[in-house]
A and B are shown apart, each in its own frame.
Chain A
């Protein structure tokens, strides 16, 4: 029903759009809270429902505010709370360019519109300081955090091409041609349904798309950005997922391969078939298949890193934190879900709000730098207990202390391995290095001291001779 209303509204709006003033490109159709539009240096106004916006307008939302815009090409954009975007360009005959300066932007483009032109060309560009995205899909969400310059893209339907903007490119004046070249280059990635890709100055290129946590995806998909407040609805049995106050042990015993512990049997299919009949199960399987569009070549769920090309895919199944725009990959040792081919982050890695899809963690805070800081007593000891440990529940980390970092390197040498100096020499542990330096100083000095003792005797003799001579 809401969808129908939406289309009806769009149809009614069309004539208004067609006959509107030529520089007006978007209209406010839904709004909540305080939203401002800035068209010039000193020209700032409060937005109201029904107002028109022109090219060059900067739209800024306050906390708990939200605005939905419909553009002249019928595409819709929802700007989330504490966000800022600029309608950089929106010509009638070319793809529009939207710059997301901070916060969250959810965009929906109708399928009909997508059918009008060449599907291999972008119909809309979204730009942030670190990424350029060419929209070839119909529904996606972009988050940009200006503090860590990280861009996160999640696609719900269709596909979005994404390329990371290097230092030299990020300040270039964006044109459709330049953006199209970027998102069509071999450095760009195609983010399809259910996938995430991120761009940040810490990496060489946009991450290879991976599946995010399927449950979070579902909730995010349903929330177009208008649900800003944490929900207490019945989803997840009336609570936020990841907020379970009980202490749970990691289901994968230390050292065991998560895939080995995973149940890959098709018992669920068999049991349901026996309960509802094979025809209904087949019908549902067909529906599932249709819903899950093919994602092409995907990296293994464990993730991968090609040091030569810089291609990097984090572990699949992680959460997307919309506030920091960071992806929280499941740590090694996480349980594997063979149904969705994703890893399940352990409870201490948080969960998501069942109403908004926002990442939540009751024990730790994720900083913009990707460090988890303790809020209170931890729920669980081991995200990834060393293989040698029995997984006993450990001592809580002190509040405010950083307890772990998000994995940004997927094949780094583990700690404790030999360190090498700048010349490639293996380095002894620091204490031993210092001792060696001290030993060298003592050795040199001892030689000098020996010489000086010897010299003393010679001096004495000289002096004695001198005294004799004086006498």
Chain B
């Protein structure tokens, strides 16, 4: 009997011993995995934890710690499973629901994640962040009302601060934007109104939470994007075109050129002797002030002054061309959309007063004045660039009634921006010049093409152009065909600095005519122009 008792005792002691050893071994493994966890060796921590078998509490700890470790190595599906087991095992860790919610959120189990985050918020663990997840998940699930409700909770709370408040305000704006789009469908005006009243206001308030945060930068960018989409960008016209940054445009320019045939004298040997050449100096000053009205209209009064002076003071045919011109104008633009792109209606009124040394007395007096009205439309129909149509009426009153005329013009230009960042400009124009003395009346057809290469060595722009002009004097029956002039030209522009710009140019003109003796000529003009912009 005592032996039996002793055996029982021994069995009990052995059981207790082995149990204690087992418990100690599990505790040691748990502690070891804790150490791995603390050093960031999450893989080893998981491996050590997976070997632990113990009571409910130990298993709860094991699964919780495994879940957190899986979250750290972004194995979110495995993390979710572990957290689920941890909850089943009765783990009471404060952050359990928050970590579980994050795992579900990352694994795209959004409805479940929302429930779990709600639970985390109820348990007061990272309450505002948990609620933010709830709101954000609702937003992803396009449950706008729910999203709005939870964002509003965060906004109204006294304890939510910093980034969470800022991002909640921002996302509230996004939610309101989505609601606006859903509710007001195709009603763009209503959408614009709602965006201006509510969405942008939320963005502004979000920015004001912390103007220097990186999120503020994101919000500003987003605000601009939304403003552009709804035509509310203060830096843009309602059609999306940029509003000029400068209200004033002011420059002076000085040009020096050499013209080998000022008199347009024929190249035929008999007439060639009458060709006169000269250096020419031209001074130009220009000022324009732009007024923007209602982000649709632009009114720009301007004034230009030109003075032309010929260096040859001996030949009256040359210096009689000395002149100055005063040209005030007013330009009106109306911005709108056409063909899905920004478009502009143009209305210009130009007045010009020209004084000239017409009598070759080295004194300039009134020569002519003109009034021009131009109506145009610039739009983007072709993907390559913008196109402009213009009709123009010009009435010209000269010191001699016989020179008085009215010019009616139609012009078309198209600017093609190539993928190589080169520009081609096509220009077509038809001008009908009706002179009081009808025999001087003419029709002219003009075609010009410019090939512009900008950004050569960052500072240079090269413009190569060809102009073909056909002038038909329709009452001059002595000619059966029109005069045609061909004028290739080249211009190199250098941006010297912020204000100075230098042009070097060369123009060649060859005019062909039936009347070879009087109208056929060639002409070379070369020179430079320096421009100072204020």
Chain A contacts to B: CB under 8 angstroms: 214-215, 217-219, 234-237, 241, 244, 246-251, 253, 255-257, 260-261, 263, 265, 267-268, 270-272, 274-277, 280-281, 283-285, 287-288, 291-292, 332, 335, 337, 339-340, 342, 344, 346-347, 354, 386-388, 390-392, 414, 416, 422-426, 428-435, 437-438, 441-442, 445, 449, 452-461, 463-464, 466-467
* Cross-interface CB contact of A260 among B61, B162, B450, cutoff 8 Å: B162
Given known A-B contacts A390-B140, A425-B498, A256 and B167 have beta carbons under 8 A apart = yes
Which of B101-109, B184-192, B290-298 has 4 or more CB atoms under 8 Å from chain A?
B101-109
| Contact A441 to B450, CB < 8 A, known contacts A235-B43, A246-B77, A265-B95 | yes
Query: How far is A463 from B46 in the complex, measured between Cα atoms in Å?
Result: 103
Given A248-B76, A424-B498; A339-B37 close (CB under 8 Å):
yes
B136 to chain A, nearest CB (A): 5
Q: Is the CB of B415 within 8 A of A435?
A: yes
Say yes or no for B227: interface residue by CB 8 A criterion. no
A26–B40 Cα gap in the complex (Å)? 36
CB-CB under 8 A from A391, the residues of chain B are 140
- What is the chain B residue whose CB lies nearest that of A211? B40
A-B contact count (CB 8 A): 262
Is A422 in contact with B459, judged by CB distance below 8 angstroms? yes
Distance between Cα atoms of A217 and B43 in the complex (Å): 12
Q: Bound complex: CA of A287 vs CA of B33, how far in Å?
A: 13
Residue B11 is within 8 A (CB to CB) of chain A in the complex: no
Q: In which size bucket is the chain B interface?
A: 35 or more
Contact assessment for B471 and A339 in the assembled complex, using a CB-CB cutoff below 8 Å: no
Q: How far apart are the CA atoms of A180 and B403 in the complex, in Å? A: 90
Q: Is the CB of A214 within 8 A of B39?
A: yes
Which residue on A lies nearest to B40, using beta carbons? A214
Tell me if B267 counts as interface (CB < 8 A to partner A): no
Quick check: is B363 within 8 A (CB to CB) of the other chain?
A: no
Chain B residue numbers with a CB within 8 Å of A416 are 221
> Which chain B residues lie closer than 8 Å to A455 at the CB level?
264
Task: Give 12 CB contacts A-B under 8 Å.
Answer: A241-B73, A256-B129, A260-B129, A261-B102, A267-B93, A275-B58, A292-B39, A426-B245, A431-B385, A434-B423, A437-B452, A456-B471
A215–B518 touching, CB < 8 Å: no
Q: How far is the CB of A168 from chain B (nearest CB, A)?
A: 28
Contact B34 A263 (CB under 8 A): no
Q: Which of B378-410 contact A (CB under 8 A)?
A: 385-386, 396, 402-403, 405, 407
Question: Residue A283 contacts which of B31, B43, B458, B518 (CB distance < 8 angstroms)?
Answer: B31
Query: B residues within 8 A CB of A215?
Result: 40-43, 73
Is B43 within 8 A of A218, CB to CB? yes
Contact A285 B471 (CB under 8 A): no
Q: Does B217 contact A (CB under 8 A)?
A: yes
A342 touches B65 (CB 8 A): no
Best-surrounded residue of A342, A432, A438 (most CB of chain B within 10 A) = A438
The residue from A344, A414, A438, A463 contacting B221, defined by CB atoms under 8 A apart:
A414
Output the nearest chain A residue to B78 by Cβ-Cβ distance. Answer: A237
Sample of 20 more A-B contacts, CB < 8 Å, known A251-B102, A438-B415, A453-B444: A218-B40, A235-B44, A241-B43, A246-B107, A251-B76, A253-B167, A270-B93, A272-B34, A274-B57, A281-B34, A335-B74, A354-B43, A386-B218, A388-B170, A388-B222, A390-B140, A438-B450, A441-B465, A445-B427, A455-B264
| B469 at the A interface (CB under 8 A) | yes
